[in-house]
Structure 1
């Protein structure tokens, strides 16, 4: 039997309760997001051993982010057509293989293949994006908001948890052992993904309103103004997050902020992101999602203006980290919820995947332009103000979004 929006009972039994689905999905988000957010700790030990510059590692991670984004709609389309379980299993195996091969990488090309290609495509099949898609398909509407927030927060907690865990492994056992342990942990996604299994799509089991081909779904989405506005706004999210993730530590160091304080700033982002994601996941049940998104993007712009307009101190840096954390991934729950509201869940993984491509392209440009601007002007100031401009534009772009299912023609009897 097909699993519908409000039916959580699989054909094999009733063990997949909403709680089991949410817990297993959050565990997958935690596991998949942790290692990729901790790869920065491997830059120095691997660089010392193989005499690599930071540009070698930077190219591999940039490639990873780009392929993660480009692979997301492909993984989503396969999940929508053949079921999520197969995609999740392949993604987890690619992720584990990438981490394991990274342990044996001795050249820049092998690093690009392992840390870039394999982990990038592995993330597209096993990251929190597909977890959110499963939540949208398997959970009833009244549970989706908080579940989407919890899934997003779990990814952030994975970032916070794996950072000290990875450092401890590297310090005590070496970077090679740390990568092997990370690889083994990714295999835990395989049994956890059983709780998120969705059935293959079959026309006879799908409601008439959802009998839509892949091409028709894409044409409908990209011909729908509200979806295009949503995708354009999501670009800013990726740009801002990637720029801060990669370049904020260097920006603080340039202003004499100790590295330990920089670590607390990153920790503040991770911790407060949990609060922000859960809060927005809950608030979207009571407030228009477009207004929440507009508020998030505008608040990011205002926080950035305040941060760069005054002398940077340890207190202001940690405060900026806390505010950024509240707004970090809080745009994900309303964005994913709007996609499900507009087009239903039939092709949700695919359509959200294309929105995520926009996010990752923004991230790629945020990282790349940050480096180019600094080398050209010796300062990050122009890119900070570009981030502010994008935030204001996204705040305005999201306001005209119509929060309603797309109008589809209904066949009339002869």
Structure 2
């Protein structure tokens, strides 16, 4: 589990801090930095676009760059920017730093997917990926501890400094883990025979063929569809939850307790759901996590006051390990480099689904004055995900693409 722990720490740094720490510290930062609502809206839009651009760029050209080197570069860049954030006071400079952090986070996860697909034990690949992806949940929890225990005494700058310190630790551990790995080889794609040509165990899909592969091949298409539907349902659920609870006249503390349950569930689910996927199949894992999310939403719609915590449990069970399960499933059918490319497109479809869901939520709130209809739609979407998980489970794994022999990484998994 060494690889899972190191890359999980990378997720704490890249996503937990690089993507989410700003939102956690924002109320305190605004006391000393004049950031307008328009600037906050711009930061939200630009960081989302940057995250998608990073994922798309990795999917298109990431196979031409050594992922081991790229993983170390993104961790170094993120760590430096986290330290820098403690010194920035100009909203324009803060926006630029956050935009770079968002792109670096998406690229970092793509490199993690490729490296785990290449070097981890295939029998535990999904467990390793799921544990790594759940590092974001640990980042949520650490952010909460920083706000409660550190920032009130040392100021908001201390939050960024501590995050940078954790980044240094992640960089050292990553370098120690990855220093013995050779740079990823670049492979070509035989379009006439529609077969992947392996070079040193790597299979790359040229950019001009990537979309065709996504549309034609079952595993790649369903992986992107799952991410789109998860983005459409999960992002509006989290973005509008507190407002919906307030709309129903429920105390703000209920939202806080719900997010605590989300974080704790996500921390634990990474290991358990990954093991379930490796031992019982990815279709079973998809069915379990999507069923938990759907049941939580169904109960929540009937009685938000009573079942908000159950909805949070279902969200944490589904959202954090989902990334590792999708990537692990794709890696069973494609080589490591192609898995990285397809995962990049999955991240783009997730962002598109989340954007569409949030826009729809805003429209329905404006048109009806309530979010009830939107949460009904989210529940239906969750049920569609359950149906998709059952379909994948009952139609089997399909034919996997065979990789070349890859030397194992000692103590990696």
Q: TM-score, normalised by structure 1?
A: 0.81
Which range is displaced more, 216-225 or 154-163? 216-225
User: Residues 21 and 329 of structure 1: is their aligned pair in 2 closer, same or farther, counting only changes over 3 Å?
Assistant: closer
Whether 1:391 and 2:376 are equivalent positions in the alignment is no
Instruction: Work out the CA distance in 2 between the residues paired with 1:335 and 1:142.
Output: 15
User: Residues 120 and 274 of structure 1: is their aligned pair in 2 closer, same or farther, counting only changes over 3 Å?
Assistant: same
TM-superposed CA distance for 1:281, in Å, is 0.7
Q: Paired residue for 1:161, among 134, 142, 148?
A: 142
User: Residues 41 and 203 of structure 1: is their aligned pair in 2 closer, same or farther, counting only changes over 3 Å?
Assistant: closer
Give me the CA root mean square deviation: 3.0
Whether 1:335 and 2:326 are equivalent positions in the alignment is yes
Instruction: Work out the CA distance in 2 between the residues paired with 1:305 and 1:143.
Output: 33
String of CA shifts for 1:44-77, please: whole Å, max 9, x gaps.
Answer: 2233444545553244134323322331242355
For 1:254, the equivalent position in structure 2 comes to 247
Aligned residues between the structures = 386
TM-superposed CA distance for 1:103, in Å, is 4.2
For 2:356, the equivalent position in structure 1 comes to 365
Q: Paired residue for 2:105, among 91, 112, 123?
A: 123
Instruction: Work out the CA distance in 1 between the residues paired with 2:300 and 2:374.
Output: 14
User: Residues 56 and 367 of structure 1: is their aligned pair in 2 closer, same or farther, counting only changes over 3 Å?
Assistant: farther
SS in 2 for 1:284: helix
Structure 2 spans left out of the alignment, 5+ residues: 189-196, 403-413
For 1:14, the equivalent position in structure 2 comes to none
Instruction: Work out the CA distance in 2 between the residues paired with 1:53 and 1:254.
Output: 25
Whether 1:376 and 2:367 are equivalent positions in the alignment is yes
For 1:15, the equivalent position in structure 2 comes to none
For 1:316, the equivalent position in structure 2 comes to 307
User: Residues 37 and 174 of structure 1: is their aligned pair in 2 closer, same or farther, counting only changes over 3 Å?
Assistant: same
User: Residues 155 and 211 of structure 1: is their aligned pair in 2 closer, same or farther, counting only changes over 3 Å?
Assistant: closer
For 2:399, the equivalent position in structure 1 comes to 405
TM-superposed CA distance for 1:102, in Å, is 4.1
For 2:125, the equivalent position in structure 1 comes to 144
For 1:201, the equivalent position in structure 2 comes to 185
How do residues 10-409 of structure 1 correspond to structure 2 at under 5 angstroms?
19-35=1-17, 36-54=19-37, 56-75=39-58, 79-103=62-86, 105-106=88-89, 108-115=91-98, 117-127=99-109, 129-194=110-175, 195-196=177-178, 197=181, 199-202=183-186, 206=198, 212-215=204-207, 218=210, 219-310=212-303, 312-313=304-305, 315-398=306-389, 399=391, 403-405=397-399
Alpha-carbon contact 1:78-1:87 (below 8 Å) kept? no
TM-superposed CA distance for 1:273, in Å, is 1.6
Structure 1 spans left out of the alignment, 5+ residues: 1-18, 409-414
Instruction: Work out the CA distance in 1 between the residues paired with 2:34 and 2:368.
Output: 28
Alpha-carbon contact 2:186-2:202 (below 8 Å) kept? no
Alpha-carbon contact 1:72-1:354 (below 8 Å) kept? yes
TM-superposed CA distance for 1:295, in Å, is 4.3
User: Residues 394 and 326 of structure 1: is their aligned pair in 2 closer, same or farther, counting only changes over 3 Å?
Assistant: closer
String of CA shifts for 1:129-160, please: whole Å, max 9, x gaps.
Answer: 43233222111211213212221233312221
TM-superposed CA distance for 1:272, in Å, is 1.0
For 2:194, the equivalent position in structure 1 comes to none
Instruction: Work out the CA distance in 2 between the residues paired with 1:82 and 1:327.
Output: 32
Alpha-carbon contact 1:268-1:325 (below 8 Å) kept? yes
Instruction: Work out the CA distance in 2 between the residues paired with 1:158 and 1:243.
Output: 20
User: Residues 168 and 359 of structure 1: is their aligned pair in 2 closer, same or farther, counting only changes over 3 Å?
Assistant: same
Alpha-carbon contact 1:29-1:131 (below 8 Å) kept? no
Instruction: Work out the CA distance in 2 between the residues paired with 1:383 and 1:275.
Output: 29
Alpha-carbon contact 1:76-1:130 (below 8 Å) kept? no
String of CA shifts for 1:62-95, please: whole Å, max 9, x gaps.
Answer: 4323322331242355553332232123322432
